[in-house]
Structure 1
């Protein structure tokens, strides 16, 4: 468990939690799911000792639930936000596991889509404290904690001083913004993967056989769509909560700054959601174009076969007539009968070719 004291003058890491909150500033108490799950009762008592706030049992269950979707809830003493962030180490769990699907079966998911594994991060927003619970080795949380600890004392008078967050709400929004930015960084590799599939689907020289991977990609994009919708709903409820609680306790400038940060997080989530929907629509369009191209190719083949059949049908009729076993038939015993029959066949073929050409049955559509 990491305890950081943040105020307007300095940021300090504390070795242990004292009874009660400090006189100025606020506390950031950071823990992992393993630490909380090892002894939830002791952890809750420690938080109550430091902040004077008792966490309810249902929220304790949500804190250690690794499959919990993004959501928001509030009480008279604190607000709780669960936000699913990307698992950059690839060890995350799906936000919405598929029912009836064997999770042991290896799916053919491209590397760009395997990065969509997520982990939950729980935020407990209190009056003068922020409690975060996340999986171990969270790069986002570690990077934010290191940046905070690098904040220099303002009395040093140095330039380019990183401003410490002025409230638990601001710190939480900074963390949420960093988590959402990870989703924005996935747009380029996801788009590149979909573009490769589009070219493969529309390549007439090689048949497309990677249908399982394409289906898995569509499933993952649909999960990303649902995931972003849950995140947007949670942040929207958080925004409403902040507007209601800051109405009388904050000045107008602080309130506006907080709303700007919340709206920025929501705008980033909306961009990821719209991009996921566009990629899913692109896959569906590419599949439809693929089958349309296949149908067009089949139609061209059938047209060629139809023309060949139409050319040979009268020839087959002529050969069938001269193959009848009648005693007396025209041209049958004539020395030039064979060449006359061949000339008739050639003339019929030429007439049919001219007719097909005038009807544009022989046009090269590809050209």
Structure 2
């Protein structure tokens, strides 16, 4: 477990939990799920000694559950937020276990990044506890920025360290949501490629399994964002109920929460639009296939209609009668062929007049 002491002037990593500074500030306790799961009781007692807050057993179980959805809960001493963040793609350095990777569907690279892992925040009055999977990029970047912080004159609001555990948590949540925002462009590009492939008449579309998997992943992203938004709404209500409404710090926290919720809503709306785009493209594809089939059937029908009277004529002259008109005539064959040709020309004229045959060249 890593312990950081954060105040308005500096950020210090504490190697000895007993050497907690007495000056103003707050603590950040960062730990992985494996460390907590190794001995739940010992870790809970260690947090109680450092922060003076006893964490309940059900919350400890939730913190180490890798399948826990986004969630918010609060007690008299602390509040707990579970937020599912994006995990790195295996090709980009993800350390996801091999057994879980083998069970995943084969989806395009842009959609394979929708693997998520939970991060648990336990928000206390003077401390923030984070429980996460190993190699969390957002947590590592936050730690690096805090440890590299040096207060400079005129650096402005953006360069200052967080003033409270709530602000630190919201900064990390905002960074996690921004990862979802970065997915919008590759997801849109992938869907656009599928749209062109679905509507290309020169080559049949065959990647139906990947398309179905993409729709499943987008639906999963939809449900994921809804859970995240509900958790953030509960957190916002908690801040409003527990903090002073006339405090400038409370206003800043509410602004940050609203910003995170707005980003989540943008991701949710984009996922819903992409899902609707896939469904529309599939419907247009099958409509185009039905139209093409109708064109083929119409052509075959016209050909059949042209040969029906010709078949009738040949059937009549194929009867076994001794005496038939034109049968003994030397020009009977050519007269019959001429009649058949006239019948074809008349039928073509009628079909064209009735618009049974489209002039596609004129349309182009």
TM interval, shorter chain, is: over 0.9
**Uncovered stretches (5+) of structure 1, i.e. residues with no partner:** 94-101
State whether residues 221 and 280 of structure 1, in contact with CA within 8 Å, keep that contact through their aligned partners in structure 2.
yes
State whether residues 74 and 80 of structure 1, in contact with CA within 8 Å, keep that contact through their aligned partners in structure 2.
yes
Report which stretch shifted further, 37-46 or 49-58.
37-46
Query: Hey, what does 2:262 align to over in structure 1?
Result: 267
Query: Hey, what does 2:226 align to over in structure 1?
Result: 229
Matched, 1:321 2:316: yes
> 5 Å matches for 1:170-319?
170-247=167-244, 251-319=246-314
Q: What is the distance in 2 between the residues matched to 1:103 and 1:316?
A: 65
3-state SS, counterpart of residue 244 of structure 2? helix
In the alignment of these two chains, the number of paired residues is: 355
Q: CA deviation at 1:108?
A: 2.5
**Uncovered stretches (5+) of structure 2, i.e. residues with no partner:** none
Query: Hey, what does 2:161 align to over in structure 1?
Result: 164
Runs of 4+ in structure 1 over 2 Å off: 18-23, 89-93, 102-108, 157-161, 364-367
Q: CA deviation at 1:22?
A: 3.9
Q: CA deviation at 1:306?
A: 0.7
State whether residues 151 and 160 of structure 2, in contact with CA within 8 Å, keep that contact through their aligned partners in structure 1.
no
State whether residues 86 and 92 of structure 1, in contact with CA within 8 Å, keep that contact through their aligned partners in structure 2.
no
3-state SS, counterpart of residue 254 of structure 1? helix
1:147/1:103 Cα in 2 relative to 1: closer, same or farther (>3 Å)? closer
> 5 Å matches for 1:48-197?
48-90=48-90, 91=94, 107-153=105-151, 157=153, 159=155, 162-197=159-194
Q: What is the distance in 1 between the residues matched to 2:148 and 2:119?
A: 23
1:159/1:243 Cα in 2 relative to 1: closer, same or farther (>3 Å)? closer
Query: Hey, what does 2:28 align to over in structure 1?
Result: 28
Q: CA deviation at 1:159?
A: 4.5
State whether residues 4 and 12 of structure 2, in contact with CA within 8 Å, keep that contact through their aligned partners in structure 1.
yes
Query: Hey, what does 1:97 align to over in structure 2?
Result: none
3-state SS, counterpart of residue 243 of structure 2? helix
State whether residues 235 and 266 of structure 1, in contact with CA within 8 Å, keep that contact through their aligned partners in structure 2.
yes
Q: CA deviation at 1:361?
A: 1.2
Query: Hey, what does 2:42 align to over in structure 1?
Result: 42
State whether residues 92 and 117 of structure 1, in contact with CA within 8 Å, keep that contact through their aligned partners in structure 2.
no
Q: CA deviation at 1:106?
A: 5.5
Q: CA deviation at 1:200?
A: 0.5
Q: CA deviation at 1:105?
A: 5.0
Matched, 1:16 2:11: no
1:121/1:106 Cα in 2 relative to 1: closer, same or farther (>3 Å)? closer
State whether residues 89 and 112 of structure 2, in contact with CA within 8 Å, keep that contact through their aligned partners in structure 1.
no
3-state SS, counterpart of residue 333 of structure 1? coil
Per-residue deviation, residues 199-238 of structure 1 (Å, max 9, x unmatched): 1100000001111111111111100000000000000000
Query: Hey, what does 2:330 align to over in structure 1?
Result: 335
Report which stretch shifted further, 254-263 or 116-125.
254-263
Q: CA deviation at 1:254?
A: 1.5
Q: What is the distance in 2 between the residues matched to 1:196 and 1:71?
A: 36
Q: What is the distance in 2 between the residues matched to 1:303 and 1:331?
A: 35
3-state SS, counterpart of residue 332 of structure 1? coil
Q: What is the distance in 1 between the residues matched to 2:338 and 2:57?
A: 98
Q: CA deviation at 1:20?
A: 7.2
Q: CA deviation at 1:16?
A: 2.1
